[in-house]
Structure 1
Amino acid sequence: MAITRRTVPRGDVDLSVLDAGGDGPLLILLHGLAGSATEMVATADALTNSFRVVALDQRGHGRSTRRPSDLSRSAFVDDVVAVIDLFSAAEPVALVGQSMGAHTAFLTASAHPDRVSDLVMLEGHAQGGRPGEAAAVGTFFASWPTPFADSAAALAFLGDSPLSRAWIADLVDADGGLSPRFDADVMAAILEDVHRPQWTAWESLTVPTLVVFGTDGMFSSAQRDELIARRPQTRRADLTRGSHDAHLDATDEWIAALRRHLVGERPSPTQPTSGPPSRQ
């Protein structure tokens, strides 16, 4: 897959967009907090035979502006609209997001239903978070002893997991070592806004929507059920494995669920299958 990068200026922010190419209508991939477009490459690669796929480094992340002045949810939504305007001004697009990216995606679909044809949320929710949770996440990122001397030092500190490997792959040479492409205080500020309940936006969604949960994901059974109960037309797929980052640790099953929803493709007998797609 030939991947290119494009910068989209938007006020005081430069947005970096990874263009995976492909044929068909536009599909935009949105990563989670402290991630970047690069962790969505496997998902992009699986979809380019049906879509033109781009993945956005959301503001404060990746190769986009690291410390933007506006970290509001509306700013993130407007960034997605700017990408839609650039790549598909005349036609609505599919939005696929994980965690924070899922949150951005459904807020965009709610605010701009004429611009979005389909929505898929991996481990996303509208409930908000617990007090102090965002600050704790910021404290965790601030605890990283950066710059790391090398990738091995980063691995020793972060541990060997699909998520930590994605973080390590995204480190950048800086300050005599390897550093993350994000700042801890920016992550905490972003998450504080993500953790505000957004039930009105969720319940007002009119676009076809699938929510996908990893078996060992972030949300309890009651939380998953509430999301569907508040919008019963939502389709739901529960994976048989995978964490909150199922796009990294249950990639094949995640992609199978994604393709079933977006293009109606059933998995082959050798592909893993998700649980029954009950209401979302």
Structure 2
Amino acid sequence: MAWSERLVVRDGVRLACRDWDGPGQPVVLLHGLAGHSGEWELLAGELSSRHRVVAVDQRGHGASERRPEDVSRAAYVADVTAVVEQLGLRRPVLVGQSLGGHTAMLTAAAHPALVGGLVLVEAGAGGPNPEVAGEVGGWLDSWPTPFPSREAAAEFLGGGPVGAGWAAGLEEREDGWWPRFDREVMVASLAELTRRSFLDEWARITCPTLVVLAQSGFIPAPEVDEMLRQGPATMAVSVPRAGHDLHLERPEVLHGVLAEFLDGIG
């Protein structure tokens, strides 16, 4: 099923969305830091036969507002609620990877009446870790931009489906292929997340919840254990032979897990 572009505006900030106008319970897909809505295309196409699927370019990313003044966690959450309300999505299931998963979690905690389900893909409650922002900044600085081609970018960014997924978010200019985000905005978007844990917010979630982790993922085991100990009733699944970008590496496995979860709460 083809998607159409939808534009949501909140406080003057443009949010570009891809809308697969399928039947059934809505699903909102939120990408990770430095990502883009196109990462979800294969998964969205599969889900759209039974669900209305909306993938969002979050603020500072992709086709959305590139340099928003506010990149707080609260701003990201308010964007999700604006998408849900302006597109008329009744109690959607929020599915987020990495930073997008954290945004989905905070949205479900703050607006329980708005959210019908929550899926965290390689995402957790976070915790004090000030080194992360510097590490991410250093990683972004290592990109040899502009890339001469999308193929060269895909190879640099890991090759295979992961590299292709990241490279699909680039834009072509006269001198080559560039990211559709600013490095400073990405680092600033992480700042609040690395200063404290959000376990209190996690504990306030009341909707059905699924945590999908990769065998070689980024979420520390103690963080996952603590989430499962004190959080809402949660299903947890580990995907073998996958890393942090498991939605790109093994989309068919993620689709199967998601479809079963959605059937169970439908």
TM-score by length of 2: 0.94
Structure 1 residues 87 and 152, CA, compared in 2 at 3 Å: closer, same or farther? closer
1:33/1:100 contact within 8 Å kept: yes
Aligned-pair distance for 1:227? 1.5
Match of 1:234 in 2: 234
1:155/1:165 contact within 8 Å kept: yes
Q: In structure 2, how many angstroms separate the alpha carbons of the residues matched to 1:83 and 1:152? A: 33
1:102/1:124 contact within 8 Å kept: yes
Aligned-pair distance for 1:128? 2.2
- Report the more deviating stretch, 137-146 or 102-111: 137-146
Letter in 1 for 2:66: R
Match of 1:154 in 2: 153
Deviation string for 1:102-149 (max 9, x for gaps)?
100010000000000111111110032522211220121122121112
Q: Which runs of 4+ in 1 moved over 4 A?
A: none
Aligned-pair distance for 1:165? 1.5
Aligned-pair distance for 1:155? 3.6
2:213/2:237 contact within 8 Å kept: yes
Match of 2:187 in 1: 188
Give the secondary structure class of the aligned counterpart of 2:216: coil
Match of 1:98 in 2: 97
Q: In structure 2, how many angstroms separate the alpha carbons of the residues matched to 1:157 and 1:207? A: 39
Give the secondary structure class of the aligned counterpart of 1:51: coil
Matched, 1:130 2:129: yes
Indicate the structure whose relative CO is greater, using CA pairs within 8 Å and at least 6 residues apart. Answer: 2
Q: In structure 2, how many angstroms separate the alpha carbons of the residues matched to 1:241 and 1:253? A: 11
Structure 1 residues 21 and 237, CA, compared in 2 at 3 Å: closer, same or farther? same
1:118/1:209 contact within 8 Å kept: yes
Q: In structure 2, how many angstroms separate the alpha carbons of the residues matched to 1:49 and 1:157? A: 34
Match of 1:250 in 2: 250
Structure 2: gaps spanning 5 or more residues = none
Matched, 1:177 2:181: no
Q: In structure 2, how many angstroms separate the alpha carbons of the residues matched to 1:129 and 1:168? A: 30
Give the aligned CA root-mean-square deviation in angstroms.
1.6
Give the secondary structure class of the aligned counterpart of 1:239: strand
Aligned-pair distance for 1:57? 0.3
Match of 1:270 in 2: none
1:155/1:168 contact within 8 Å kept: yes
Q: In structure 1, how many angstroms separate the alpha carbons of the residues matched to 2:85 and 2:158? A: 40
Match of 2:213 in 1: 213
Deviation string for 1:257-279 (max 9, x for gaps)?
111111139xxxxxxxxxxxxxx
1:139/1:184 contact within 8 Å kept: no
Letter in 1 for 2:140: F
1:147/1:175 contact within 8 Å kept: no
Match of 1:109 in 2: 108
Aligned-pair distance for 1:223? 2.7
Structure 1 residues 156 and 249, CA, compared in 2 at 3 Å: closer, same or farther? closer
Match of 1:271 in 2: none
Q: In structure 1, how many angstroms separate the alpha carbons of the residues matched to 2:127 and 2:220? A: 14
Match of 1:5 in 2: 5
Give the secondary structure class of the aligned counterpart of 1:240: strand
Structure 1: gaps spanning 5 or more residues = 266-280
Match of 1:20 in 2: 20
Match of 1:74 in 2: 74
Q: In structure 2, how many angstroms separate the alpha carbons of the residues matched to 1:155 and 1:211? A: 28
Give the secondary structure class of the aligned counterpart of 1:253: helix
Q: In structure 1, how many angstroms separate the alpha carbons of the residues matched to 2:74 and 2:58? A: 12
Identity fraction in percent: 43
